[in-house]
Amino acid sequence: MVGIIMGSDSDLPIMREAIDILESFDIQIEVDIVSAHRTPEKLFEYSKNAHLRGVKVIIAGAGGAAHLPGMVASMSPLPVIGVPVKSRNSIDGWDSILSILQMPGGVPVATVALDGAKNAGILAAQIIGASDTCVLDKIITYKEGLKLKVEQASKRVKK
C-alpha cells in the first residue's frame, strides 16, 4: 500500500496524478490530508503508525513552506517521496522545492519535480516492485509502452 498525503485539499488536483498512476498499477492506496502546521498531532500519528497499517511508501505533497514530507520522514521508518506543489502563496514553487529537497543528513526525502506527482507514483511503484514481481511486471510493461510511444512519434515526424 502507498500512503498519499497532502497539506491541503488544494493540492489534490496535482496529487491526483499519483493516485491515478498507482491505481493503474493496481497498487492499493490510502489518501488523506495531513497538515504539518494545522494538524501536527495528526502528522505525528500518521508518520509513526503508517507502517503498522501496511503502508510501504509515503508520498507527501506540499506547497509553500512544504514541511510535510520532511516532518513525515523524520518520524517514519518508511521511504518518503516529496512532491513540491506550486501553491498560490508560493514563490514560483522554489520555496516548496528547497524545503523538500534540502533535508539534513539522516532524514532523506526523495524529491520529484515541481508538481511531479505522477513521477512520485511511478517511483513508489518501482520501490514496491523491487520486492513484488507482479508490480515489477507492470512497471516493465509501462516502460515498454513509453518506448513504443516515442518510436511511433519518431516515425510520424521523421523525414
State residue 9's pLDDT score: 93
Rounded to an integer, what distance in angstroms lies between the CA atom of residue 18 and that of residue 113? 13
Could you tell me the mean pLDDT of each successive run of 10 residues in the chain, 159 residues long? Answer: 96 97 98 95 97 98 91 98 90 90 96 97 98 97 96 91
Cβ atoms of 25 and 135 closer than 8 Å: yes
Rounded to an integer, what distance in angstroms lies between the CA atom of residue 115 and that of residue 135? 24
Rounded to an integer, what distance in angstroms lies between the CA atom of residue 124 and that of residue 19? 11
State residue 16's pLDDT score: 98
Phi and psi dihedrals of 51, rounded to 5?
-65, -30
Rounded to an integer, what distance in angstroms lies between the CA atom of residue 1 and that of residue 22? 10
- What nine digits make up the cell of 42? 495528526
State residue 158's pLDDT score: 86
State residue 91's pLDDT score: 83
State residue 46's pLDDT score: 98
